[in-house]
Chains A and B, each alone.
Chain A
């Protein structure tokens, strides 16, 4: 019976917690963008002329097929992160793509049309060196994989291993490349640095060593990139110290020395400090490579050379040229070369590979984005036109990970911003009012009122009203105009100029900072990239912190954002100040940061231009203010005694609190040491600054109030034990007051380990850990209450809190691992809260906080029913209708960002990882707006109907009365 009651209670509570979207709402206010990451290998499907496939493998361990006409994904396979899923090589033959994954752990073959796995083979251990397709008599049948100490040959159609052979002297020789010219043998090339090259020749049928020789090469340190095989098996190497090319026929048994050809003889010279690169091409793996090859002598100098009869002849010199690449279509091989045209554009031209002659009318102009990076990779897709000439399209990858697909004469077919696959941090900024609204606001500002008299003000008023009328008419006209067009062609013409804040502030500007150092401004409604800015010279492991200093609310001052970029190696930081709406760099002078910045602090103090003051704390605990005008410094002096900050040093296990002095130096006021031998601080979180709590307490069943302990200075510190043994490991949580250093509460979860995800908000902390005893994920919630009375209801000071709060805690079993955790946020905090849980499956679960309530009773009582408490059940349910992104999964979700909108019921959510997904959630349903399916027509027709019925019946009644009077 009791169980029935519990189940009834749960199902009743679910009735109003369900928040799935309806089918017709799909894509209405949400969008997803899928990314792949930085391209490492890209191959065009040249199997058939009409093929649109482009196969890519990226550094995010993604293997995907793109539509080369639109840039959309045909299919995508996301492998494990880290070295386990690293794609080592991508080979393609016909319809099959062969991929080596995880440092030579797996060999897979994919069917490229639908992306199905054909076969998979587990390879022997050993670090991967190279892989190549091996052909016999014009047919490609095998794939050879070279490991550090072994070579194996696999059948291309089934993946079965034909043979595997150990390499001779593999401890001293570094085997690096593999070559097969289709004549029944496979060459394995190894090098002993600064000594000699080893060439081993294997028979394809049984793996027998046919020949093994070593050739002296004292100058050589590595085979990769400085060597290539050209023509019918000629090994060609280049060395920048001796300024020479070396050649060696692989098959000849008699030649035991490499032939040296001085570059001087060809009138060439390698720029000092540059490692020259040789690029050859082998259009068909069953046939020897072409005798033409590229030699790169400096970053912007390529030369096309030809090897004939032991002689090297230059075919064409490309100076200057950024990139060069070969492409083959049918029997014809061409070379595409990108050379600079002017400051903002490059031209790409097509040359015949065997003669070096330029093809006529093949120029593609590539316009470089002034806010982007330089091009660094060129992929060419050549095809035969109907008149048998060669046409081509190119894909250019730039430093800022933009993929641009171009066709003649320079039309950009599509563009992908792959930097967005690695978003580090983001913010959402309100859009400004429309120009007319802003104008109104500006005209009736204080300054204007003082300057002008009464009459000009009246005129201004009239003129601005006229402008408003004009804008309204224009808007109506646009509505009318759009209504006539088909629905699909209307959208996707968002530009920055027409962007304005909508009625409910649901459309915002998303600022995204990516690991590659590129900033994006994205319209949250459509997902259109409105501006982008590439910051050059960003170290790959830099730390970013994005701060909104001034919002759009202070017209005519433009909004202002500051990005702090900290170089991990030098520790030095730099500030980049920009306008978040237009992406323009601000002209404000930025303070020099001579010392490493260790933390920042955004104060609610504003300067005369309404920008919030940012304090930068350096490694000597000195503080720099930005902006640092006189006004600000004066304000800082006044408020210095109430400004505190804390620093957490996890390497020393130390939390320290500081207070600001009037001279902007600091003073250590408290220190908490958590011994690093036992446990390590993993994370620390305060509360979000823009969080509002509407209700100061909770109503009990007996209608008394349990007041919440709403300490804005409270920090949640998570620690993990250094001992990882499953019996002794633990997870600790400390709640510390950031001003006084007082430990408000501490809890330890034994037999638990991380990774811990947690949310700290209002008066609660929710954290997730792995219970190593029961092998499951658990949620734990801590809630803090002051009790039945408030100590001080008007002001909150951490320095005057004599009573410790009451702490309640409860734990639950969560039936899935999680990737990230965030809580919804609304304008006034009236709406109930939900937790957004990013699952590894890519779904985002919206879990009502009501389920994570430590006051959930084990036994149902009258009072708990009055309070709407769900009876305690250890298992936390996961319901598919709670997935806010239905089938739009977000791969490798790494973070969720929530922002309030102008509607109290609505919270904007952005989930980012490999993909980006934006939606709105309504934790308490849409109580402040009419539903989407609200039947305006029915209701208004009923209203009008009733109105007319009343009129008519009134008339009829009058007539009837008159008639009766005449009777």
Chain B
């Protein structure tokens, strides 16, 4: 177990520290201290807040703006890009009703719905873009297309109750208006 901060606690006496039950060493340069993250650079000690990596320039530049736009378009076009893939999966899985096609259809249907439900989060993501509304619309259309595809798949698999036979079980027997009986003359 490493101890936080500058000190390290050696609870168990190793072969080299047989002399005492425990010891506290304040010098960090000691190589005996196992798993010390800062010790790989040698014995040099840096002041607090010092980072040996150069700090990037965070001021917004024109090139970055383009990058943001591009990134946002990536997000917005994501659902649309998935459609060819989905089409391929649809084609491959066939129309038989078994566990794998059903799982695929469920995934295909669930993903756009999930995306549509978290629309606001996506909008927040796109906030920085200047074409926010257009991108949002494209994103929406992409997802709608995705769900339409899932519905089409359900339809072609026969999972949608669109036929009259699907409602057959709910038809009540008609009420009879006449009472009739009789038979052979006894």
Tell me the A residues contacting B by CB distance below 8 Å. Answer: 543, 545, 566, 573, 597-605, 617, 639, 642-650, 681, 683-684, 686, 692-697, 699-700, 703-705, 710, 712-713, 738-739, 790, 792-799
Name B184's contact: one of A684, A699, A704, A790 (CB within 8 Å): A684
Residue of A nearest to B163 (CB): A703
In the complex, whether B176 has a CB less than 8 A from a CB of chain A is: yes
Name A603's contact: one of B177, B179, B186 (CB within 8 Å): B179
- Closest 8 pairs between A and B when the two form their complex, measured CB to CB: A601-B181, A645-B182, A646-B182, A703-B163, A699-B165, A797-B177, A796-B174, A713-B180
- Chain A contact surface mostly: strand
Kindly list chain B residues whose C-beta atoms are within 8 Å of the C-beta of A793.
171-172, 174
- In the bound complex, what is the Cα–Cα distance between A617 and B184 (angstroms)? 12
Q: A739-B178, A796-B176, A797-B177 are in contact. Are A684 and B183 (CB under 8 A)?
A: yes
Q: Is the pair B165, A704 in contact by a Cβ cutoff of 8 Å?
A: yes
Residue of B nearest to A739 (CB): B178
Name B177's contact: one of A599, A699, A796 (CB within 8 Å): A796
What is the CB-to-nearest-CB distance from A265 to chain B, in angstroms, rounded to a whole number? 55
Tell me the B residues contacting A by CB distance below 8 Å. Answer: 158, 163-166, 168-169, 171-186
Can you list 28 A-B pairs, Cβ within 8 angstroms, ordered by A? A543-B186, A545-B186, A573-B186, A600-B181, A604-B179, A643-B178, A646-B180, A647-B183, A647-B184, A649-B184, A650-B185, A681-B184, A684-B184, A694-B169, A695-B168, A695-B169, A703-B163, A703-B166, A705-B163, A713-B176, A738-B182, A739-B180, A793-B172, A793-B174, A795-B174, A797-B176, A798-B180, A799-B177
Q: Is the pair B180, A686 in contact by a Cβ cutoff of 8 Å?
A: yes
What is the CB-to-nearest-CB distance from B13 to chain A, in angstroms, rounded to a whole number? 16
- In the bound complex, what is the Cα–Cα distance between A601 and B178 (angstroms)? 13
Given pairs A643-B178, A686-B183, A705-B168, 20 additional interface contacts (CB within 8 A): A599-B183, A603-B179, A604-B179, A605-B179, A617-B182, A639-B179, A642-B178, A644-B180, A645-B181, A646-B180, A646-B183, A648-B182, A648-B185, A692-B173, A699-B165, A705-B163, A710-B174, A713-B180, A793-B172, A794-B174
What is the CB-to-nearest-CB distance from A714 to chain B, in angstroms, rounded to a whole number? 9
Residue of B nearest to A639 (CB): B179
Q: Is the pair A795, B176 in contact by a Cβ cutoff of 8 Å?
A: yes
Kindly list chain B residues whose C-beta atoms are within 8 Å of the C-beta of A645.
180-182
What is the CB-to-nearest-CB distance from B167 to chain A, in angstroms, rounded to a whole number? 9
Q: Is the pair A795, B186 in contact by a Cβ cutoff of 8 Å?
A: no
Residue of B nearest to A696 (CB): B171
Q: Is the pair A705, B165 in contact by a Cβ cutoff of 8 Å?
A: yes
What is the CB-to-nearest-CB distance from B127 to chain A, in angstroms, rounded to a whole number? 45
What is the CB-to-nearest-CB distance from A846 to chain B, in angstroms, rounded to a whole number? 26
Kindly list chain A residues whose C-beta atoms are within 8 Å of the C-beta of B185.
598-599, 647-650
Kindly list chain B residues whose C-beta atoms are within 8 Å of the C-beta of A797.
176-178
Q: Is the pair B182, A599 in contact by a Cβ cutoff of 8 Å?
A: yes
Q: Is the pair B158, A642 in contact by a Cβ cutoff of 8 Å?
A: no
Kindly list chain B residues whose C-beta atoms are within 8 Å of the C-beta of A598.
185-186
What is the CB-to-nearest-CB distance from A832 to chain B, in angstroms, rounded to a whole number? 15
Kindly list chain A residues whose C-beta atoms are within 8 Å of the C-beta of B186.
543, 545, 566, 573, 597-599
What is the CB-to-nearest-CB distance from A325 to chain B, in angstroms, rounded to a whole number? 41
Q: Is the pair B164, A705 in contact by a Cβ cutoff of 8 Å?
A: yes
Residue of B nearest to A602 (CB): B181
- Chain B contact surface mostly: mixed
Residue of B nearest to A699 (CB): B165
- In the bound complex, what is the Cα–Cα distance between A281 and B166 (angstroms)? 81
Q: Is the pair A644, B175 in contact by a Cβ cutoff of 8 Å?
A: no
- In the bound complex, what is the Cα–Cα distance between A793 and B171 (angstroms)? 8
Q: Is the pair B182, A798 in contact by a Cβ cutoff of 8 Å?
A: no
Residue of B nearest to A656 (CB): B182
Residue of B nearest to A682 (CB): B184
- In the bound complex, what is the Cα–Cα distance between A90 and B171 (angstroms)? 65
Kindly list chain B residues whose C-beta atoms are within 8 Å of the C-beta of A599.
182-186
Residue of A nearest to B183 (CB): A599
Residue of B nearest to A619 (CB): B185
Q: A598-B185, A704-B163, A796-B174 are in contact. Are A643 and B168 (CB under 8 A)?
A: no
Kindly list chain B residues whose C-beta atoms are within 8 Å of the C-beta of A543.
186
- In the bound complex, what is the Cα–Cα distance between A599 and B158 (angstroms)? 52
Q: A543-B186, A700-B165 are in contact. Are A644 and B177 (CB under 8 A)?
A: no
Residue of B nearest to A605 (CB): B179
Kindly list chain A residues whose C-beta atoms are within 8 Å of the C-beta of B173.
692-693, 696, 710
Kindly list chain B residues whose C-beta atoms are within 8 Å of the C-beta of A605.
179
Kindly list chain A residues whose C-beta atoms are within 8 Å of the C-beta of B171.
696-697, 790, 793
Kindly list chain B residues whose C-beta atoms are within 8 Å of the C-beta of A684.
183-184
Q: Is the pair B175, A795 in contact by a Cβ cutoff of 8 Å?
A: yes
Kindly list chain A residues whose C-beta atoms are within 8 Å of the C-beta of B165.
697, 699-700, 703-705
Q: Is the pair B175, A738 in contact by a Cβ cutoff of 8 Å?
A: no
- In the bound complex, what is the Cα–Cα distance between A705 and B164 (angstroms)? 6
Q: A695-B168, A792-B174, A793-B171 are in contact. Are A601 and B163 (CB under 8 A)?
A: no
Kindly list chain A residues whose C-beta atoms are within 8 Å of the C-beta of B168.
695-697, 699, 705
Kindly list chain B residues whose C-beta atoms are within 8 Å of the C-beta of A692.
173
Q: Is the pair A712, B163 in contact by a Cβ cutoff of 8 Å?
A: no
Q: Is the pair B180, A738 in contact by a Cβ cutoff of 8 Å?
A: yes
Kindly list chain B residues whose C-beta atoms are within 8 Å of the C-beta of A643.
178-180
What is the CB-to-nearest-CB distance from A201 to chain B, in angstroms, rounded to a whole number? 56
- In the bound complex, what is the Cα–Cα distance between A70 and B186 (angstroms)? 41
- In the bound complex, what is the Cα–Cα distance between A600 and B173 (angstroms)? 26
What is the CB-to-nearest-CB distance from A272 to chain B, in angstroms, rounded to a whole number? 38
What is the CB-to-nearest-CB distance from B98 to chain A, in angstroms, rounded to a whole number? 16
- In the bound complex, what is the Cα–Cα distance between A798 and B176 (angstroms)? 9
Q: Is the pair A650, B180 in contact by a Cβ cutoff of 8 Å?
A: no
What is the CB-to-nearest-CB distance from A602 to chain B, in angstroms, rounded to a whole number? 7
Kindly list chain A residues whose C-beta atoms are within 8 Å of the C-beta of B182.
599, 601, 617, 645-648, 738
Q: A695-B168, A696-B168, A703-B158 are in contact. Are A712 and B180 (CB under 8 A)?
A: yes
- In the bound complex, what is the Cα–Cα distance between A601 and B169 (angstroms)? 32
Kindly list chain A residues whose C-beta atoms are within 8 Å of the C-beta of B166.
703
- In the bound complex, what is the Cα–Cα distance between A639 and B179 (angstroms)? 9
Q: Is the pair A644, B178 in contact by a Cβ cutoff of 8 Å?
A: yes
What is the CB-to-nearest-CB distance from B40 to chain A, in angstroms, rounded to a whole number? 26
Q: Is the pair A704, B164 in contact by a Cβ cutoff of 8 Å?
A: yes
Kindly list chain B residues whose C-beta atoms are within 8 Å of the C-beta of A603.
179, 181
Name B179's contact: one of A644, A790, A799 (CB within 8 Å): A644
Name A686's contact: one of B164, B174, B177, B181 (CB within 8 Å): B181
Residue of B nearest to A789 (CB): B164
Kindly list chain B residues whose C-beta atoms are within 8 Å of the C-beta of A600.
181
Kindly list chain A residues whose C-beta atoms are within 8 Å of the C-beta of B178.
642-644, 713, 739, 797-799
**Most chain B CB atoms below 10 A, which of A650, A692, A790, A796:** A796
What is the CB-to-nearest-CB distance from A352 to chain B, in angstroms, rounded to a whole number? 55
Residue of A nearest to B179 (CB): A643
Q: Is the pair B184, A648 in contact by a Cβ cutoff of 8 Å?
A: yes
Kindly list chain A residues whose C-beta atoms are within 8 Å of the C-beta of B180.
643-646, 686, 712-713, 738-739, 798
- In the bound complex, what is the Cα–Cα distance between A603 and B174 (angstroms)? 18
Q: A693-B173, A696-B168 are in contact. Are A648 and B179 (CB under 8 A)?
A: no
- In the bound complex, what is the Cα–Cα distance between A890 and B159 (angstroms)? 49
Residue of A nearest to B175 (CB): A795
- In the bound complex, what is the Cα–Cα distance between A617 and B181 (angstroms)? 11
- In the bound complex, what is the Cα–Cα distance between A738 and B184 (angstroms)? 13
- In the bound complex, what is the Cα–Cα distance between A599 and B183 (angstroms)? 7
What is the CB-to-nearest-CB distance from B185 to chain A, in angstroms, rounded to a whole number? 5
Kindly list chain B residues whose C-beta atoms are within 8 Å of the C-beta of A681.
184
- In the bound complex, what is the Cα–Cα distance between A695 and B170 (angstroms)? 9
Kindly list chain A residues whose C-beta atoms are within 8 Å of the C-beta of B169.
694-695
Kindly list chain B residues whose C-beta atoms are within 8 Å of the C-beta of A648.
182-185
What is the CB-to-nearest-CB distance from B95 to chain A, in angstroms, rounded to a whole number? 12
What is the CB-to-nearest-CB distance from B162 to chain A, in angstroms, rounded to a whole number? 9
- In the bound complex, what is the Cα–Cα distance between A692 and B171 (angstroms)? 13
- In the bound complex, what is the Cα–Cα distance between A680 and B179 (angstroms)? 27
- In the bound complex, what is the Cα–Cα distance between A600 and B184 (angstroms)? 10
- In the bound complex, what is the Cα–Cα distance between A710 and B175 (angstroms)? 11
- In the bound complex, what is the Cα–Cα distance between A788 and B112 (angstroms)? 38
What is the CB-to-nearest-CB distance from B118 to chain A, in angstroms, rounded to a whole number? 36
- In the bound complex, what is the Cα–Cα distance between A81 and B185 (angstroms)? 27
